[in-house]
Structure 1
Amino acid sequence: MDLKTASKDIQNNKPAAIYVCYGAEKYRIKEFIDFATQQLIEPEHRDFALAHYDLSETALETVVEEAEEIPFMVPRKLIIIKDSSVLTAGKDNSKLEHRVESLLRYMEEPAEYSILLFWVNGEKLDERKKIVKAIKNHACVLPFQPMGAEELISWLIRHAKKQECDCSTAAAEALVQSAGTGLGILSAEMDKLCLHAGRGGTITIDSVHQLVARSTEQNVFMLVEQIAAVRLEQALTIFYDLLKQREEPIKIAALIARQFRIMLQVKELSGQNYSQQQIASQLGLHPYAIKIAGEQARKFDNQKLRSIVAHLARLDYQMKTGAIDKVLGLEMFLLRLGA
């Protein structure tokens, strides 16, 4: 079952007996848990109908006993369980012994008045475990992996609409370029932009640039973007701004080198017919970062990218050994590249 179907079933008051949420996008897992809580449990029932457990502190069989116990003064219970080791390959430092057979028995005949929702702290479930194989047969298993580039932009536009604000695709992309791809940060920045625009207002690229501060990594990303577009003056302006913020030139050079390495890897993997999602998985990066790196890489051929990466490696050595002034070395690199 996918997230859309699971959400629709919850809205129609037809929840599954057990949900298992896992993946890299913890913000979206929290969103789903909040949504399930609002839809399934009346506000006046939440004192008695909601239970929270952490399997690093509580044995699994205690959770099962809670699920089997008839609810007090409420029609049903929602039991939210955090897990870092029972369903994953993670190390259990709590030294608790979990009797997984109690959950295996429960899954055969779950209580109709209880809903178990596992929040797994891990990007994958451990497929080797018997309990995981059983859960895949009896529970609603929902992966929360990073959204694709278009999906991320659509998510931001929807987030603005919830607050009765309009946000164009270009403004949403500008926000990602300024704030990165972390959903928690993006959500907070979008809330700020909506507050500034006011109900019924429009979020513009200008308002994003005025109100959203870029991190060093995002500034370097924008610097490389200006280089790729052969806008040397803007690239140097960003570089000098970074120096004014007391950023270490060696760190700036390392971040520039990282972005060019990503561009080279994306270009080579794209040439082998890898999809954007596959490249993101191979490199351990967000699909949106892969999309932008791919667009930047089109401005260079493979040989040029290899030459730039090699040049940056030599520059790094020269800067660290004092063979060249750090700021001058980076300026010369940018001027040559711009030329």
Structure 2
Amino acid sequence: MTPEQAIQEATKGTLRPVYLVLGEERYLADKVVHALREATMLGGIAGFNEDKFTAGEASVDAVLSASKMVPMMAKRRFVLARGLERWEKKGDSEDDEGGGKSASEGKRGAKDASPLDALAEYAKAPASSTVLVLSATKLHAQRKIVTAAKKEDFLVNCEPVSRKALPTVVRQMSKERGHDIAPDVADHLAEIAGPELGYVADAIERLSLFVGEGKPITEDAVVTMVMKVRPGSVWDLVDALTRRRLDKALAVLAEVVDSKDGGLPLLGLVASNVRKMVKMDSALRAGANVNEAAARAGIPPFKAQETAQTLKSLPRGTLPTWVRLLAEADRALKGSKRTPQAVLETMVISMCR
């Protein structure tokens, strides 16, 4: 099930006895866990009916014992076990593939079965008065607990949101806080705050406080509160690159680069514009007209003709080379000891050649 479906179940109070919250998007996972806890604790006393464990620091027996306890002055107990991947020992990931036991497990006997197998066994007949939430960033797909969660539909997938879908998520999160946001502003915010939803949520919270209750989130607000770069400035930079105007490109770069953020947001905006050019070029080569190609690429209508002319003027192989240079700059910003300014200047010089 999706995180939204799990939260909806929590809102309705139709809770399952076991949930496996699996995925690398921690914002979604934490949101699901919070919703399940709030729904379980409703009308009860948390201190008497809640237990939280971390795999590796607590034993699976402690988790199971807490899950089997009877709630005190409440309808349900809430038990959370985080970091299940810590119980997935090296060399042990095949123990329960296909639902069978390994040779070593057969020798050890049932008492020495892996913690994850013990959880899978519990899930077959869980306590109806407990909501057991199991959380992990990643587990082997053939683990018994994972296959059981898929089969019995208690698996909650919390995978990262794709770049394509992120602007829609930004608009949804803004709406939930009572703010309208234009599609182009949402795309801008997604590019500089994403892809992790935690950072996006933090940015939207700051923007919400800045613009005021019920007011729209504007480009000016994003520029002021999140990153002091306007989309127009990035287009100026890309325009200077396409015209091989190194002096202009370096001048624009000096105005917009912010060494405090490591240079990655700016690089992301440049990369976004280059990706749009690649998409428009591909659409034009496939026979689309200029306006249609621009729409497919996400380029504003007023930029359609100008971008088409730019694409015609670029020497063959320019865009693939730019994509490679952007990737190299991304690696350098994340792993090099050079300053962001130096890395981006080197990239700009190479792109103007």
| TM-score normalised by the chain length of structure 1 | 0.67
The answer as to 2:148 corresponding to 1:134 is yes
Name the CA distance, whole Å, in 1 between partners of 2:222 and 2:194.
Answer: 13
Name the CA distance, whole Å, in 1 between partners of 2:126 and 2:6.
Answer: 18
The answer as to 2:40 corresponding to 1:30 is no
Quote the residue 2:172 is aligned against.
158
**Mean Cα displacement is larger for which, 129-138 or 12-21?**
129-138
Name the CA distance, whole Å, in 2 between partners of 1:202 and 1:113.
Answer: 44
State the identity as a percent.
19
For 1:126, the aligned partner's letter is H
- Does structure 1 retain, via aligned residues, the 8 Å contact 2:56–2:86? no
The answer as to 2:42 corresponding to 1:63 is no
Quote the residue 2:135 is aligned against.
119
* Partner SS for 1:203: coil
Residues 104 and 196 (structure 1 numbering): CA distance in 2 closer, same or farther, change over 3 Å?
A: closer
The partner residue of 2:120 within 93, 100, 104 is: 104
Shift of the alpha carbon at 1:302?
6.9
Residues 164 and 16 (structure 1 numbering): CA distance in 2 closer, same or farther, change over 3 Å?
A: same
Quote the residue 1:46 is aligned against.
46
Q: Which runs of 5+ in 1 are unaligned?
A: 272-290, 316-324
Residues 213 and 70 (structure 1 numbering): CA distance in 2 closer, same or farther, change over 3 Å?
A: same
Name the CA distance, whole Å, in 2 between partners of 1:165 and 1:109.
Answer: 45
- Does structure 2 retain, via aligned residues, the 8 Å contact 1:54–1:83? yes
Shift of the alpha carbon at 1:332?
4.8
Give the count of matched residue pairs. 291
Shift of the alpha carbon at 1:108?
2.0
- Does structure 1 retain, via aligned residues, the 8 Å contact 2:2–2:158? no
Name the CA distance, whole Å, in 1 between partners of 2:169 and 2:67.
Answer: 34
- Does structure 1 retain, via aligned residues, the 8 Å contact 2:325–2:347? no
Name the CA distance, whole Å, in 1 between partners of 2:140 and 2:29.
Answer: 19
Deviations 1:178-216 (A, max 9, x none): 32322112111111111111112111111111221369x
Q: Which runs of 5+ in 2 are unaligned?
A: 93-111, 284-296, 330-341
Name the CA distance, whole Å, in 2 between partners of 1:223 and 1:37.
Answer: 49
* Partner SS for 2:85: coil
Deviations 1:15-53 (A, max 9, x none): 121111111211111111112222332275222232211
**Mean Cα displacement is larger for which, 55-64 or 103-112?**
103-112
Name the CA distance, whole Å, in 2 between partners of 1:190 and 1:231.
Answer: 37
Residues 3 and 231 (structure 1 numbering): CA distance in 2 closer, same or farther, change over 3 Å?
A: farther
- Cα RMSD (Å): 4.7
Shift of the alpha carbon at 1:111?
0.6
Shift of the alpha carbon at 1:120?
0.3
